[in-house]
Structure 1
Amino acid sequence: MTHPQASHNGNDNNLRYERGLAKLQEIDGEGGVKVVESLAGIAPDFARLLIEFPFGDIYSRPGLDLRSREIAVVAALTAMGNAAPQLKVHIQGALNVGATRTEVVETIMQMAVYAGFPAALNGLAAAREVFAADDEKSARPLAEPRALVETP
């Protein structure tokens, strides 16, 4: 099955797709691509739409930098309260494009005012998981342990 608009303006959709894929990789690196690839077997048209519309059309617009966009997405997904997998992807995306952990945590805490404490608590739990995974990735393997007692 082809994309619904593909027959009308294939070149335009290819540009949207290419622009969206580049933006997705800029924000999420391989994580975003893996999400899209996971949809290929069940809903390839949805995977294409996911690249074309949010990333090819919206994220690529001028007016907000990627850091600001990702902070807004973290706020929205936290407030929704039912999108933990997507929230984790976008917390990592926010970090990838320059947001600090403090900014992410403060954004999530701010949502307690508008979406309630349960949503903020769930968001903080997601952030804790992302931060821990990020720490684990960046931890370097320890050097060979030295002998406690040097032998002459």
Structure 2
Amino acid sequence: MTNAQASQNSNDNLRYERGLAKLQQIDGEGGVKVVESLAGIAPDFARLLIEFPFGDIYSRPGLDLRSREIAVVAALTAMGNAAPQLKVHIQGALNVGVTRNEVVEVIMQMAVYAGFPAALNGLTAAREVFTADDEKSAQPLAEPRALVETP
């Protein structure tokens, strides 16, 4: 391995680590599950998904995570064909401090630029995320298990 190759590997590892940390900060388990789901079919794509969007773009200093997630929710809503990704990023937006009302307003704003069908699909995705979040919050915490079972 040449010095240039070693330097490139080191840079790629830094991008990956920075990206993974940012992904976990935004999406928590959801983002990690997306990456894990790609391991069997396209592990290189999973690595790129961490390095470029999260390691390079999300880590830039120009916008805070809250603003970035608002922009992503708007873009995915406008696309109209990315419901799974939209749901992950709606949850990510909530995770970084965007309120439910703000999510709804951003999606409604897209009706002006992307049309009512795209906004309706976005609102459906938001309702599903909000409902799942409410259900998860309503579940009682599991009883702690004893570290040592008594006979």
Change (3 A) 1:6 1:137: farther
Query: 1:66 Cα shift?
Result: 0.3
**Aligned partners of 2:46, 2:16: CA distance in 1, in Å?**
10
Which range moved further: 84-93 or 1-10?
Answer: 1-10
Q: Which protein is bigger by CA-based radius of gyration?
A: 1
Report the TM-score when normalising by structure 1. Answer: 0.86
**Aligned partners of 1:151, 1:18: CA distance in 2, in Å?**
43
Change (3 A) 1:3 1:50: farther
CA contact (8 A) 1:75 1:107 kept: yes
Identity of aligned residues (%): 93
Query: 1:11 Cα shift?
Result: 3.5
Residue 38 of structure 1 aligns with which residue?
37
Change (3 A) 1:4 1:116: farther
Query: 1:62 Cα shift?
Result: 0.3
**Aligned partners of 1:26, 1:99: CA distance in 2, in Å?**
14
CA contact (8 A) 1:78 1:87 kept: yes
CA contact (8 A) 1:3 1:45 kept: no
Deviations 1:87-116 (A, max 9, x none): 000000000000000000000000000000
Deviations 1:7-31 (A, max 9, x none): 844444x000000000000000011
Q: Which runs of 5+ in 1 are unaligned?
A: none
Deviations 1:54-87 (A, max 9, x none): 0000000001100100000000000000000000
CA contact (8 A) 1:74 1:108 kept: yes
Change (3 A) 1:149 1:16: closer
**Aligned partners of 1:115, 1:135: CA distance in 2, in Å?**
29
Query: 1:3 Cα shift?
Result: 17
Q: Which runs of 5+ in 2 are unaligned?
A: none
Report the TM-score when normalising by structure 2. Answer: 0.87
Residue 10 of structure 1 aligns with which residue?
10
CA contact (8 A) 1:24 1:51 kept: yes
Deviations 1:101-150 (A, max 9, x none): 00000000000000000000000000000000000011144999999999
Change (3 A) 1:3 1:69: farther
Equivalent positions of 1:67-146 (< 5 A) are 67-141=66-140
